[in-house]
Amino acid sequence: MALRANGRALIGALLLGTATTHAGAGEIVACHVTYGGETKTVEARPTASPYTVAPVDFGSYLQFRIVFRSEPADLASIKLYTYARHDDVDGRPLIHQATYAYPPVPAGSYGFTGLNHAYEPRYGLVLEYWCELREAISK
């Protein structure tokens, strides 16, 4: 009987340890975005308010946005968006969107996303990116 209780306690501790390992508190998503021959790293910490995450401008016509949710477990994901910016269109037309489970599975030498290209059709622009999950450096 004591062995069974200890086994349940061990399983509970392991499950709790797994849940805290992927809590995302010390993790960031870092996307390496190349546009016009220049590469910029865009970082995102976990958020509970995905609609408040602002996109980052690339040139005059492209924007890139990362939404990183580490909890609750049923909504945990990493979503990447690329938008076009056209003065004659209301809002920002979405030209590329990708969703990855959290925690993501590494895809090789280009992080968990692999190398992606988002094409803006009006002006023939290309935004290239790949993303990785890494530990945040405390400041």
Q: pLDDT for 80-89, tens place per residue?
A: 999 999 887 7
**DSSP helix/strand/coil, 127:** strand
Q: How confident is the model at residue 139 (pLDDT cuts 50, 70, 90)?
A: low
Q: Torsions phi, psi of 49, nearest 5?
A: -125, 80
Rg of the chain over CA atoms, in angstroms? 19
Looking at residue 113, what is its pLDDT? 97
ω before 72 within 30° of 0 (cis)? yes
- How far apart CA 85 and CA 12 sit, in angstroms, is 50
> Over 80: is that where the pLDDT of 16 sits?
no
> Which 8-state DSSP code applies to residue 113?
T
Q: How many residues does the chain have?
A: 139
> Which 8-state DSSP code applies to residue 114?
-
pLDDT per position as a tens digit, 111-133: 999 999 999 999 999 999 999 99
Q: How confident is the model at residue 96 (pLDDT cuts 50, 70, 90)?
A: very high
HSE value, Cβ hemisphere, 13 Å, CA-based, for 121: 4
Contact 87, 105 (CB under 8 A): no
Contact 83, 92 (CB under 8 A): yes
pTM of the full structure: 0.79
Looking at residue 17, what is its pLDDT? 37
